[in-house]
Amino acid sequence: MYTQAMSVGPQETAAKVQSVEEAQAQQAFDARIDAGDFIEAKDWMPEHYRKTLVRQISQHAHSEIVGMLPEGNWITRAPTLKRKAILLAKVQDEAGHGLYLYSAAETLGTSRDQMLDALHTGKAKYSSIFNYPTLSWADVGVIGWLVDGAAIMNQVPLCRCSYAPYARAMIRVCREESFHQRQGFESLLTMTQHGTDAQRAMVQDAVDRWWWPSLMMFGPEDKDSPNSEQSIRWGIKRITNDQLRQKFVDACVPQAALLGVTLPDPDLKWNAEREAHDFGRIDWDEFWRVINGDGPCNRERLAARVKAWDEGAWVREAALAYAKKQAMKEQAA
Ligand SMILES: [Fe+2]
Ligand SMILES: [Fe+2]
């Protein structure tokens, strides 16, 4: 899903150019970026570009994998077989997104073990949205509508990211996210148009709880996003956090009207001059608290991932033993 935390991280300074060869390589790299070329895994790239991508892609991969947990919570309690099948497929898609993205990050010379170790020890970030609980079935629909919707907004520009393996992964991810968004919206529409008053109230309650955290998915305001400018210069990022957030709000307002729900923001109104919606202030204290580990479910999410890793050790060992045996057979043949 989700890329919000990508803009969050220590600001790195550009590595000093050491030699004439490196200076030339840097010049050629800059020219390619300026020309809108894609960079492949084997191409020369500055260390800072590589590190920025590793951080962004691995945080994105972690978000996909952790993102399976809140919705996975409802698989056994989906109200119908159809909804259960859809939810299973969606959660499985998110696992696939994680795998494409870990693979893309590996092309930059970092191992999956390193990335997972950073996640499990709490060093790596992932999208703060998954540290909120899913309290009712309506949360599953709202996650599809708002969270996957925000993810698409964030990720469509990444299909044109200058690092080709990431861009290629994102094309497929975005197609699937689009399905996720629509299934969420359709599930909510069913409840608001054909459901009972209690079901409509359940949808409104879920919207009230997820709206603000969804807006936080776009990351800090541009003025507090130190890595953004360099990422845009490198063609990793194409649109700023605030621009994406605005597009998202403008897209959601008519959708909320169609659903018959109220977005929980008294300051939300159309601004004819800007031709965009004005909206209220995000609680940035809450954002930083959750990003830094103190959200409602941070500990639970991390513990679930560590447990899954530990309990899966025998699968990894068996797969490695099998691969070794196959390689020996091939050598002998
Ligand atoms: Fe998704
Ligand atoms: Fe995803």
The encoded tokens of residue 75 equal 């698989």
Distance 90 CA to ligand 2 centre (A): 8
What residues flank ion ligand 1 with Cβ within 5 A? Answer: 1, 148, 177, 180
Distance 136 CA to ligand 1 centre (A): 18
- Beta bridge mates, 276: 271
Which ligand is nearest to the Cα of residue 98, counting in written order? Answer: 2
Distance 17 CA to ligand 2 centre (A): 37
pTM (global) more than 0.85: yes
Which ligand is nearest to the Cα of residue 2, counting in written order? Answer: 2
- State percent of the chain over pLDDT 90: 86
The mean per-residue pLDDT over the stretch 100-111 comes to 96
Distance 322 CA to ligand 1 centre (A): 32
The encoded tokens of residue 104 equal 């893309």
Which ligand is nearest to the Cα of residue 3, counting in written order? Answer: 2
Distance 97 CA to ligand 2 centre (A): 5
pLDDT (tens digit per residue) in 236-284? 888 899 999 999 999 999 999 999 999 999 999 999 999 999 999 999 9
Residue 5 pLDDT more than 50?
no
User: DSSP 3-state helix, strand, coil percentages of the chain (rounded to 5)?
Assistant: 70, 0, 25
Cα separation, 280 vs 285, in Å, equals 15
CA dihedral for 66, 133, 263, 216, sign (positive or negative): negative
Residue 13 pLDDT more than 80?
no
The mean per-residue pLDDT over the stretch 161-183 comes to 95
Residue 7 pLDDT more than 50?
no
Taking Cα atoms as reference points, which of 129, 126, 146, 3 lies closest to residue 70? 129
pLDDT tier at 299, thresholds 50, 70, 90: very high
- State percent of the chain over pLDDT 70: 95
